[in-house]
Chains A and B, each alone.
Chain A
Amino acid sequence: MLRISAFVFMALALGGCSDQWGWYVVDPTTASGYANLKFLLSGLYYTVLLSLTAISISIVVGLLVALPGLSEKKLLRGFNRTYVELVRAVPILVLILWIYYGLPQVSGLTITVFWAGVIALALSDSAFQAEIFRAGIQSVDRGQNEASQSISLNYADTMRFVILPQAIRRILPALGNQLVYMLKMSSLVSVIGMEELTRKANELVVVEYRPLEIYTVLVLEYLVLILIVSAGVRWLERRMNADARR
């Protein structure tokens, strides 16, 4: 489905190669077009690095926030609810701006654009990860916990060897969704000057003044990136399911 719509989109865009289009800006057969294309693609590195770093952190934080949410103790559950509700309520862009411009003032630390972006994205995503993990862990049968207890596994071992391996299989599609979401949201970090895909496109637009072509390339960059990631997640799912069926 996505592949077809990508094709239709391309056909439409290229079909409009009349006078008002100026594909020369990204025509790889010319020296300047090639250089421009290379410039645009050079943002890929930070888009991917930013997203992967942020999601790794948000998965860990999300799990650490999910666990108290499953506790019998009201206080711990309260912590989980408060965290999720608060963090979820702040728009990502606002979080990025606040962390980059605000946090150094209150903390006295200087923070790089990259880490401001990572923290903002990770923080914002961790609330969703916490909910995903909580649901995933809850979906594992209670008997698994009881069996672990009956062979005297402690809480950490029960989670690590029994519950999480089963939960992660079930939440893998949701984790894949979050990664896609993260790749898209990373474009927001361009506002504080992160040299990722969107920023590169913006910079080129200012020089070349061909927003239509350049942003079309940008759309395609995200599209291809995300199609690759989706395929990767599906492959992982298939592999894990095959594992489970052995």
Chain B
Amino acid sequence: MVQIEGISRFYGNFAALKSVSLDIAQGERVVICGPSGSGKSTLIRCINRLEKHNEGRIFLSGVELNDSKASEEVLRTGVGMVFQQFNLFPHLTVLDNLTLGPIRARGMTRKDAETLAMTYLDRVHIADQAEKYPRQLSGGQQQRVAIARSLCMEPKILLFDEPTSALDPEMIREVLDVMVELAESGITMVCVTHEMGFARKVADRMVFMDKGEIVETAPPETFFSAPKSARCKDFLEKILGH
């Protein structure tokens, strides 16, 4: 589904990503973790070209991602993203937040787009809030709307960048529950998160990053019980509070 071949991303002389390679299979659920500044966001943002890699190559459904038309086309409905800060459109109702993409980018009629939007709002258990504005919702509800907004584009792969980090503890659960349901539906997911309970439950593969590199990848069982590198062991100890 996604092949990342030795990509690097520089900010001036500073390498946020150093020749990172990663393959993500169709339907696979990958959880990325690592200390702050390790390049997790940069990596997944390269997958939907919010950041452009300076070296290496990325393929999505066999198409190389660059400035070409073909790349733009494969990205159009290929990749969805859920942000830490939700990034809902504050001047639009929940329903309009969801239908904007389908109408403008997928060429759907308003009626079809609204039906689609209601389906996905229902899936994130928030259909009764369709007419409200984002600011009238709790953080957890806003993030679920943001997830529904991504789903309305019916992406082949969904990226999450610390989707629960901006939430109050009591709202993390409702968002994670929705994400678990999504994971079980078979969509390809790449998730940057420090919610290790969630990772254990849904991840097919854990990726640990540090200083712009992928230090370790392993299935969750071995990742949590027997991390190979010292850096990873260190990180897990800190985050799991041992």
Q: Say yes or no: is B153 at the interface (Cβ < 8 Å to chain A).
A: yes
Q: Report how many residues on chain B are interfacial, defined by Cβ distance under 8 Å.
A: 29
* Contact (A152, B91) CB under 8 Å given A143-B85, A246-B133: no
Given the complex, which residues of A lie within 8 Å of B231, measured CB to CB? Answer: none
A144 vs chain B, min Cβ distance (A): 6
A161 cross-chain contacts in B, Cβ below 8 A? 89, 100, 104
Of residues 108 through 142 on chain B, the ones whose CB sits less than 8 Å from some CB of chain A are 133, 135-136
Smallest CB–CB gap between B116 and chain A, Å?
13
A166 close to chain B: CB less than 8 A:
yes
Q: Does A191 contact B (CB under 8 A)?
A: no
Task: Pick out which of these stretches binds chain A: B22-30, B73-81, B191-199.
Answer: B73-81
By beta carbon, the residue of chain A nearest B85 is A143
Residue pair B87, A144 in contact (C-beta under 8 Å): yes
The answer for the CA separation of A151 and B117 in the assembled complex, in Å, is 13
Nearest CB of chain A from residue B77's CB, rounded to whole Å: 7
Known pairs A150-B48, A151-B100, A161-B100; A143 contacts B87 (CB<8 A): yes
A residues with a Cβ closer than 8 A to B are 141, 143-144, 146-147, 149-154, 157, 161-162, 165-166, 169, 244-246
Cα distance, A157 to B102, chains bound together (Å): 12
The majority secondary structure among interface residues of chain B is loop
A-B contact count (CB 8 A): 64
| A153 touches which of B83, B90, B105, B133 (Cβ 8 Å) | B105
Q: Please name all residues of chain A whose beta carbon is closer than 8 Å to the beta carbon of B133 when the two chains form the complex.
A: 244, 246
Complex CA gap A57/B91 in Å reads: 26
Q: Give the secondary structure class of A's interface.
A: helix
**Is B91 within 8 A of A244, CB to CB?**
yes
| Cross-chain contact B91 with A169 (CB below 8 angstroms) | yes
Nearest 5 pairs of A and B residues by beta carbon: A151-B101, A147-B87, A143-B87, A152-B105, A150-B81
Please give the distance in Å from B88's CB to the nearest CB on chain A: 7
- Measured in the bound complex, the distance between the Cα atoms of B91 and A166 in whole Å is 7
Q: Which of A141, A146, A154, A165 counts the most B-chain CB atoms under 10 A from its CB?
A: A146
With the chains together, A157 CA to B107 CA distance in Å? Answer: 13
Q: Does B230 contact A (CB under 8 A)?
A: no
